[in-house]
Amino acid sequence: MASITSTGLGSGLDVESIVTKLVAIEKQPITDLQSRTSTIQTQISAYGKIQSAFSTLRDAAAKLSNPTTWAALTATSSDPTMATVTAGNGSGAGSYALNVTNLASPQSLSSKAFATNATVGSGSMTIELGQWSADNSTFTSKDGATPVSITISATDTLANVRDKINSSGAGVLASVVTDANGSRLVIRSKDTGEANGFRISTADDDGSNGDANGLSALAYDPTASIGSMTQNTKAANAQLTINGLAISSATNNIESAVDGLTINLLKPGTSTVSVGQDKDSVKKAINDFVTSYNSLMTLMRDNTKYDDSNKTAGTLQGDSTAVGLQSQLRNITASGSSLGGAFSRLSDLGLDIGAAGTITVNDAKLTSALGSMSDLKNLFMGVDPTDPNNNGLASRWRSFADQVTGFDGQITTRTAGLQSNVTSNNKRVDELNDRADAYEKRVRAQYTALDTQMAKLNDMSSYVSKLTSMLGSG
């Protein structure tokens, strides 16, 4: 009897095809589950995007419900080429008359001209900070400052002297300026102000500390009748008046004259400094919120709508949680508040809610509304102690966003439920795969047995046919 080497050879049946189709039918529920899981994962992804958009909205609403936003001030100068101004914490709204007669300046000295790369002599030079009298006849050392001595060698060029001065920490800055006459050493105070003047004395190795030769060419001390270097600028304080009040400042950056106001002097002259509420920053905060709100509403609408023209449903179409969130957000936005005085609804500010739920900004109307800052502030962040639903809109937007994205919020809860379904489906898929594998083994064994039996019957039939033929021929 012939042996069977492949399923189906004995019976003539396409056993492999039969088994494959039977197993495919058995696995159909797995395909259905995997398809449903893919849909759920898409929904989870959509909720992730919505949660992120809610967080962005929450941050924008928090800015509108922050007192700092509404307390921000801005300052302007009528002549920004003469002085610039910045308003900070503690500054108050008002107008200030500024009259600057003199800018703060550092002391500056320059030496005689030297040949390029020439040496200047050897010895030591001592630099001391302090204040000169009006005619430079007396010098008062600066409190807390210590004279600095610098050793100069015979091989030091003007550039070497410059570098030694700059690394000494003497409170001055040195540079080499070269023109058609040669190179000069220029030394100036590091800081402006009359208390930051300086004098330079030398111990010249040539034995003479007061002439203009050798190292003493870099000396400057009028109190000792030494003026080898030339004073180009005298150390001076800025002199100004603010609303008639005389002020003297060692720097051109005036920070303490008016609370919270920083004035940067650029040149002598007069200017008017005006301080008022920063309407531009409030306007930007409102527009930033509108942008985040519209982004969220558009995202939720696209995910929950049914497109009749394309016959396609959004990822969350019919999802009660998503639809509910959309409805709640719309209700808060449309409800307004009675705390805003002249403004009770967003439309009063030029923020109009369209049919799609998004907000359109009428810039002219919003700009006009910024003129009533107190009412505007109350509409967004006012607090009603008797009715939380009448609180300012920004406060309610923020509270709602915190609630829906919180640990037990609708988005978190819904996402957890969807994820649980994914886990359950994956577990069921594993079970069905195991069952399908067992089914395939069972069916394949049955058809193998059938194939073997059919092969035996076919062999028997062939044998009987041959035997009958032999008997008939005899």
Distance CA 240, CA 251 (A): 12
Check residue 130 and give its pLDDT.
97
β partners of residue 183: 114, 178
pLDDT tens-digit profile of 59-106?
999 999 999 899 888 999 999 999 999 988 777 778 999 999 999 999
Distance CA 54, CA 397 (A): 10
Q: Is residue 446 part of a domain?
A: no
Distance CA 186, CA 178 (A): 10
Residues 316 and 373 in one domain: yes
Q: Is residue 194 part of a domain?
A: yes
Residues of the chain whose pLDDT is less than 50?
A: 1-6, 8-10
β partners of residue 352: 360
Number of domains in the chain: 3
Check residue 429 and give its pLDDT.
75
Residues 347 and 311 in one domain: yes
Last residue of a domain, one of 344, 377, 404: 404
Q: Is residue 437 part of a domain?
A: no
pLDDT tens-digit profile of 281-323?
999 999 999 999 999 999 999 999 888 888 888 889 888 999 9
Residues 112 and 226 in one domain: yes
- The helix (H) or strand (E) run that includes residue 274 is strand 269-277
Residues 316 and 396 in one domain: yes
Residues 163 and 250 in one domain: no
Q: Write the DSSP assignment of 86-134 as a string of letters.
A: EE-TT--SEEEEEEEEE--B--EEE---B-TT-B---EEEEEEEEEE-T
Residues 95 and 243 in one domain: yes
Cβ atoms of residues 111 and 229 within 8 Å: yes
Q: Locate all alpha helices (DSSP H) within 198-357, ordered by sequence.
A: 279-304, 320-335
Q: Is residue 15 part of a domain?
A: no
Check residue 2 and give its pLDDT.
40
Nearest to 199 by CA among 176, 175, 171, 177: 171
Cβ atoms of residues 428 and 343 within 8 Å: no
How many CB atoms lie under 10 A from the CB of residue 327? 11
Q: Is residue 302 part of a domain?
A: yes
Check residue 286 and give its pLDDT.
97
Torsion of CA 115, 118, 123, 129, to 10 degrees: 50
Residues 128 and 229 in one domain: yes
Residues 393 and 293 in one domain: yes
Q: Locate all alpha helices (DSSP H) within 237-319, ordered by sequence.
A: 279-304
Nearest to 130 by CA among 145, 111, 115: 145
DSSP 145: -
Residues 163 and 253 in one domain: no
Last residue of a domain, one of 404, 419, 434: 404
Q: CA angle, corner 270, sides to 268 and 275, nearest 5?
A: 120
Q: Is residue 452 part of a domain?
A: no
Q: Is residue 14 part of a domain?
A: no
Last residue of a domain, one of 233, 268, 303: 233
**Domain that residue 339 falls in:** 52-69+281-404
CA quadruple 454, 459, 463, 469: dihedral sign: positive
Residues 220 and 113 in one domain: yes
Check residue 9 and give its pLDDT.
46
pTM, two decimals, is 0.67
Nearest to 22 by CA among 35, 12, 13: 13
Residues 97 and 244 in one domain: yes
How many CB atoms lie under 10 A from the CB of residue 282? 22
Distance CA 403, CA 386 (A): 21
Check residue 5 and give its pLDDT.
40
Q: Is residue 393 part of a domain?
A: yes
Residues 155 and 82 in one domain: no
How many CB atoms lie under 10 A from the CB of residue 449? 10
